[in-house]
Amino acid sequence: MTSIPIQVNPAAILKPKKRRTLLKTTLIYVGLMLFALFAALPMVWMVSTAIKPRTAVFQEPTNIIPNNPTMDNFIRVTQPLTPSGRYFGTYFLNSTIVSVASAALSVVVAAPAAYAFSRFRFPGKGAAYFAVLARNMFPLIVFLIPLFTLMTSLRLTNTYGGLILAYLTFTLPLSIWLLKGFFDGIPPELERAARIDGCTRFGAFFRIILPLTTPGLAATAIYSFVQAWNEFPYALNLAFSTNMRTLPVGMTFFFSENSSDWTGLMATAVIISVPVVIIFMFLQRYFVSALTQGAVKA
């Protein structure tokens, strides 16, 4: 046994393969950090601006962490007694009502239809399903003029009902497509068993399949909710009176009336984003499954 001390570069002790893994891991994290910076920095900046005093925009324009953070902007844009915040509560309420109702209604109407598309054969099925899928192809804007005329003649402009109905144009086809994917994933033996056990056809759907699809129904409802919450052109043109505006529309009016109030605008942006980001954080798994199902299976 020799006892000569040897100087060793710690990296050299690692076997070549291990060294390569370490290098690879480091590169992966570097890449991830760059992506995270790209994705998160704008949002960090949004929050940072929202908690800056109005004058700090000029005094410390590139400070990410403000010298004197404040909640003033949030109070100003939500406070019913200030000119810039007086409608905030109304807008928030409108957005909530319209989004929740659109999500709920589209799932209720879409679920039986999606089930029929998944399980039954009937004349017209191909054409109807084609129409459902093709709808996702067409931009909302091209339907805006006829929808506006339709809503005007039905006296549905500036009503919740009208906007919810308009939102069904995109939430419904999407929900049908998503739910059909979830139903396709359930083995048909379960309905067969249920029908032999004494259920009617509808009973098998209602008692066995629907409860089993709860995660899918939730994912679909969330997806519809987020779409409705963020929608802009329909809300702008079909619910234009001041007390019917939704949050995104309210934001554009806020901007045109207070175009230099960047801190107030970013505070509004934070408030609008919080619900969807929270929902997403809690239900990320369902959200992702809604987005990727079908596409990946096929």
- Within positions 136 to 155, which residues make up the interface with another protein, using CB under 8 A? 136-147, 149-150
List 59, 192, 243, 257, residue binding another protein (CB under 8 A): 192
From the list 11, 36, 71, 75, which residue makes contact with another protein (rule: CB under 8 A)? 36
Q: Compute the C-alpha angle 43/276/133, nearest 5°.
A: 110
| Residue 211 sits in the site that holds another protein (CB under 8 A) | yes
Interaction of residue 72 with another protein, rule CB under 8 A: no
Q: Exactly one of 74, 88, 91, 129 binds another protein (CB under 8 A); which one?
A: 129
From 2-10, 11-19, 81-89, 274-282, span contacting another protein (CB under 8 A): 274-282
In whole angstroms, the minimum distance from the beta carbon of 135 to another protein comes to 6
Shortest distance, position 15 Cβ to another protein, whole Å: 18
- Determine if 256 is a binding residue for another protein (CB under 8 A): no
User: Pick from 1, 13, 121, 241: which binds another protein (CB under 8 A)?
Assistant: 121
State the SS3 of the chain.
Answer: CCCCCCCCCHHHHCCHHHHHHHHHHHHHHHHHHHHHHHHHHHHHHHHHHHCCCCCHHHHCCCCCCCCCCCCHHHHHHHCCCCCCCCCHHHHHHHHHHHHHHHHHHHHHHHHHHHHHHHHCCCCCHHHHHHHHHHHCCCCHHHHHHHHHHHHHHCCCCCCHHHHHHHHHHHHHHHHHHHHHHHHHCCCCHHHHHHHHCCCCHHHHHHHHHHHHCHHHHHHHHHHHHHHHHHCCHHHHHHCCCHHHCCHHHHHHHHHHHCCCCHHHHHHHHHHHHHHHHHHHHHHHHHHHHHHHCCCCCC
Kindly state whether residue 276 participates in binding another protein, applying the rule CB under 8 A: yes
Residue placing its CB nearer to another protein in the complex, 168 or 244: 168
User: Does residue 115 touch another protein according to CB under 8 A?
Assistant: yes
Candidate list 98, 107, 174, 176; residue touching another protein; CB under 8 A: 176
CB of 210 to another protein, least distance (A): 10
Of residues 221-240, those binding another protein (CB under 8 A): 226, 229-230, 232-233, 237
* Interatomic CA distance for residues 24 and 27, integer angstroms: 5
Measure Cα distances from 11 to 7, 28, 218 in Å: 12, 19, 50
CB of 11 to another protein, least distance (A): 20
* Distances from the Cα of 52 to the Cα of 37, 48, 75, 145, 269, angstroms: 21, 6, 13, 41, 14
Please report whether residue 132 would count as binding another protein according to CB under 8 A: yes
Binding to another protein by residue 218, rule CB under 8 A? no
The verdict on 215 binding another protein (CB under 8 A) reads no
* Piece in contact with another protein (CB under 8 A), picked from 6-14, 29-37, 70-78, 83-91: 29-37
Q: Is there binding between residue 31 and another protein (CB under 8 A)? A: yes
Task: Work out which of 1, 7, 8, 122 binds another protein, going by CB under 8 A.
Answer: 122
**Residue 136 CB, nearest approach to another protein (Å):** 7
Calculate helix-pair angle for 88-119, 125-135, nearest 10 degrees. Answer: 150
Q: Which of 97, 112, 159, 258 binds another protein (CB under 8 A)?
A: 112
Taking CB under 8 A as the rule, does residue 15 contact another protein? Answer: no
